[in-house]
Amino acid sequence: MSTSREHFSSKIGFILAAAGSAVGIGNLVGFPVAATKNGGGAFLIIYALFVAFICLPVMLAEMGLGRRAQHSPYKAYAELGQDTKRWRIAGWLATITPFMIAVFYMVITVWIFGYLFQTLSGNLDIIAQPDYFGKFVNDYSFVGYLVAVTVIINFILVGGVRKGIERASKILMPTLFLMLVLLVIFVLTLDNAMAGVEFYLVPDFSKIDGSVINGALAQAFFSLSLGMGILITYGSYFRRSDDIVTSGKLVAITDTAVAFTAGLMTLPAIFAIYPDTNPESLSDSSVSMIFSFFPQIFMQLSDIVGYGFATVAASIFFLLAFVAAITSLVSIIEVPTSSFMERHNVSRKKALLAMGFAITLLTLLAATSFGLLPWVSNVAHYAGVDKSLFDVIVDVFYDTILPLNGLLICLFVRFRWKRKNFAAELSEGNPNYQTSWLHKYVDFSIGTFIPVILAVIFANTVATKFFGTSFL
């Protein structure tokens, strides 16, 4: 075990860093809209049950594996898996997945930065034009915004675990909470806001079917940053005396609370401006909501509160989304970076340089998916649809591999690491764990029905995404 490995300095440091990873773009718009379209309060209840009963055990497994091994995913699986090929593949998947997700998330973060820049420059009226986003994604200004975002991320990551990730999270996360609360308070004072709250909260169980349940679990899994190697890596920065169990619970609660609170901003804002909105007609895509729909909402808002005030509200919104995205990106880029440092025995600076170069190149390529380079815009064809490089990365890594990685860690705990060793790991820092109900539940579920559910979700996603049929 490496003695020089850096560790988080405190439990709160870890919780804020992991919550920074978990709270992302999906929390702000994707989750509230999915809830409203799929049964409101009924979706919220199902979502909360999934977080507590399926995601939390997987989360503890990732953090426990990381802390036991004191390595990033590749080496963690290799060492604890006693070097067998099968577990090396799991480690490799847990390293390549965050790398590819970082590329796709980077494209969206750069767009958010561009919109933030434009809003702060007083150009809300321009970004609210219906055809603006279509032009924006093929504009060369992308390169300038990409450089700025890369510099910010590297500025944080070069400081390492304590002086970089932990310190940035301690500043950025409270700022994010504050901005969110301010926007909620503001939006709730608008006329008609309560109609949005109603659509969001009143349960309609008739909307719940197999695909809604599948979607809720996938959303919860993704929202807690599971299956991306992030919590294995952050777990490896835990000291043996730290309490993994309580920290995991607090991260899950924080992420869910932020997603829930964001619904009190997103839906009331939509209904205050467009009172006749049919929730069914809202787009499933966070991208089109953030970049096409929301700028128009802020522009309409200027009729009520004036252009200056609407610009301030829009700036806070894009800054909120940017902070949420940056703290997530930092966590995901840390995974391949720390793997690279370990594997090639190089300094953090060198690893960041290599990762920065590779991710920037791929990000630039993925950003040409929207018409700039015809072959990238049309790189594959499946389930009856032409797909761009960006689409393929989202379909393969975001939608499909995450539940597979979750399944693999459950199988790893059950068949290789063994549940008693896993429980012993969680007991360190939490001596009461072995006698708790949570232990009994985690011990049973992680070796039985959780892997079965994740296998079904994985198979259904493959069927839907790549073959255009669904069995749920």
Which one, 273 or 454, has the nearer CB to ligand PFF? 454
Of positions 21, 70, 119, 363, contacts ligand PFF by CB under 6 A: 21
| Strands 385-387 and 380-382, sheet pairing | antiparallel
- Chain positions 300 to 339 lying near ligand PFF, rule: CB under 6 A, are 328-329, 331-332
Q: Which residue is nearest to ligand PFF (CB)?
A: 24
Q: Considering only residues 223, 261, 302, 339, which one is a binding residue for ligand PFF as defined by CB under 6 A?
A: 223
- x/- track of binding to ligand PFF for residues 433-472 (CB under 6 A): ----------------------------------------
**What is the SS3 assignment for 472?**
coil
- Nearest CB to ligand PFF, comparing residues 54 and 128: 54
CB of 333 to ligand PFF, least distance (A): 8
d(CA 292, CA 282): 12
Q: Does 22 bind ligand PFF (CB under 6 A)?
A: yes
CA separation for the pair 267, 98 (Å, rounded):
30
CA distances, 241 to each of 19, 62, 357 (Å): 20, 17, 37
Q: Is 150 in the site for ligand PFF (CB under 6 A)?
A: no
Give yes or no for residue 80 binding ligand PFF (CB under 6 A): no
Q: Which of 35, 54, 55, 102 binds ligand PFF (CB under 6 A)?
A: 102
Site for ligand PFF in 262-301 (CB under 6 A): none
Whose tokens are 């199902």? That residue is 46
What is the nearest approach in angstroms of ligand PFF to the Cβ of residue 135? 26
Binding segment toward ligand PFF, per CB under 6 A, in 19-27, 168-176, 207-215, 315-323: 19-27
Give the nearer residue to ligand PFF in terms of CB position, either 66 or 81. Answer: 66
Nearest residue (CB) to ligand PFF, 394 versus 453: 394
In sequence order, the 6+-apart residues with CB closer than 8 A to the CB of 244 are: 60, 63, 64, 67, 235, 238, 425, 426, 428, 429, 430
Closest CA to 281 of 472, 385, 271, 291: 271
Min dist. Cβ of residue 343 to ligand PFF (A): 21
- C-alpha distances out from residue 460 to 387, 465, 471, Å: 20, 8, 6
Stretch that binds ligand PFF, among 16-24, 415-423, 446-454, 456-464 (CB under 6 A): 16-24
Pairwise CA distance, residues 201 & 193, whole Å: 13
Q: Report if residue 366 touches ligand PFF, rule: CB under 6 A.
A: no
Exposed, middle or buried, 5 (CB in 10 Å: 0-12/13-18/19+)? Answer: middle
Question: Minimum distance from CB of 440 to ligand PFF (Å)?
Answer: 28
Nearer to ligand PFF, 56 or 102 (CB): 102
Q: Are 25 and 324 in contact (CB under 8 A)?
A: yes
| Residue whose C-alpha is closest to residue 100's, from 264, 414, 332, 436 | 332
Among 8, 105, 318, 390, binds ligand PFF (CB under 6 A): 105
Q: Is the distance from CB of 173 to CB of 327 less than 8 angstroms?
A: yes
The reply on whether position 252 binds ligand PFF by CB under 6 A is no
Check residue 363 for interaction with ligand PFF (CB under 6 A): no
DSSP element (H, E) containing 228: none
Please report how close the Cβ of residue 380 comes to ligand PFF at its closest, in angstroms: 22
16, 18, 19, 27: which one binds ligand PFF (CB under 6 A): 27
Using rule CB under 6 A, residue 225 touches ligand PFF: yes
Asked if 101 interacts with ligand PFF (CB under 6 A), we say: yes
Alpha carbon distance 313, 49 (integer Å): 34
What's the closest the beta carbon of residue 207 comes to ligand PFF, in angstroms? Answer: 23
- Residues 6 or more apart whose CB falls under 8 angstroms from that of 361 comprise none
Helix%, strand%, coil% for the chain, nearest 5: 80, 0, 20
Cβ atoms within 10 Å, residue 1: 8
- Summarize as ranges the residues that interact with ligand PFF (CB under 6 A): 21-22, 24-27, 101-102, 105, 222-223, 225, 328-329, 331-332
